[in-house]
Amino acid sequence: MNGRTGVPVTIGVMERSSTTSGGSARREATRQKLYEAAVTLIAEQGFSATTVDEIAERAGVAKGTVYYNFASKSVLFEELLRHGVGLLTASLREAAEKTAAQGGSRVDALDAMVRAGLVFIDRYPAFTQLYVAELWRTNRAWQSTLMVVRQQAVAVVEGVLREGVAAGEFSEEIDVPLTAAALVGMVLVAALDWKSFQPERSLDDVHAALSRLLQGRVSGHR
């Protein structure tokens, strides 16, 4: 009844993770609305500060509907996490594979992944924000979910680095897990700063700046 159409911050429609194949289209749409509402609210205020009443109101549904569709507030949040990182991982993997298929170098693959990361953050800033805010917390209910999901994403970067080392494109001295984390951090923080403090800049612009840094073209040699 409340004609409340949310902001288009959708986290996307991934294929139902083979849970209940009997998820009707109607129910799915309701869930989608709840995801959208939750992602922005939690990004802004944090999980604990966001109430279920708020989520329901923003989604334009009754509170009872939230509990009809999700077992609890945390379950809703956990599914949000899994889904969002799933999207990112798929996007990174696709970028890497596409580059490889076109005969690009590993540096090119890394660069393509940087861009894919930027595109993702550009599209789902609220999700990214929320993810960063929760990732390094301890003692939380969804910690294990978060770890698993993080590893999936970072593993894609690590994979490319390892291939690069094996192919002699990268120095054998590099520390793969740590370098992967550093690269992810570079993109993450640069992008969040971009969205927060210089939102008018273009993606290409930001990408170019990061490419330069990635390829060591900062120090004047060249």
Partner DNA sequence: GTTTTTGCACTGACCAGTCAGTTCAAAAAG
Partner DNA sequence: CTTTTTGAACTGACTGGTCAGTGCAAAAAC
Beta carbon of residue 176, minimum distance to a copy of itself (angstroms, whole number): 9
Using CB under 7 A as the binding rule, the residues of this chain from 73 to 132 that contact DNA are: 73-74
Q: Fill in the amino acid letter for 190.
A: A
- As a whole number of angstroms, the longest Cα–Cα distance in the chain is 63
Work out what residue 171 binds among a copy of itself, DNA, none; the CB cut-off runs from 5 to 8 Å by kind: a copy of itself
Instruction: Rank residues 68 and 198 by Cβ distance to DNA and give the closer one.
Output: 68
Work out what residue 122 binds among DNA, a copy of itself, none; the CB cut-off runs from 5 to 8 Å by kind: none
- Rounded-to-integer distance, Cα 31 and Cα 44, Å: 20
Q: CB within 8 A of 8, min separation 6: which ones?
A: none
Instruction: Rank residues 95 and 190 by Cβ distance to a copy of itself and give the closer one.
Output: 190
Instruction: Rank residues 63 and 98 by Cβ distance to DNA and give the closer one.
Output: 63
Binds a copy of itself (CB under 8 A): choice among 90, 104, 169, 203: 169
Residue whose tokens read 């799915």: 28
- Rounded-to-integer distance, Cα 101 and Cα 1, Å: 50
Residue 141 binds DNA, judged by CB under 7 A: no
Say whether 100 sits in a helix, a strand or coil: helix
Do 100 and 163 contact (CB within 8 A), yes or no? Answer: no
Measuring CA to CA, which residue among 88, 70, 73, 87 is closest to residue 41? 73
Cα dihedral sign for 202, 205, 210, 214?
A: positive
Residue 49 binds a copy of itself, judged by CB under 8 A: yes
**Where does this chain bind DNA (CB under 7 A)?**
1-2, 22-24, 26-27, 29-30, 48, 50-53, 60-65, 67-69, 72-74
**Where does this chain bind a copy of itself (CB under 8 A)?**
43-49, 107, 129, 132-140, 168-171, 173-175, 177-179, 181-190, 192-194, 196, 198, 205-206, 209-210, 212-213, 215-220, 222
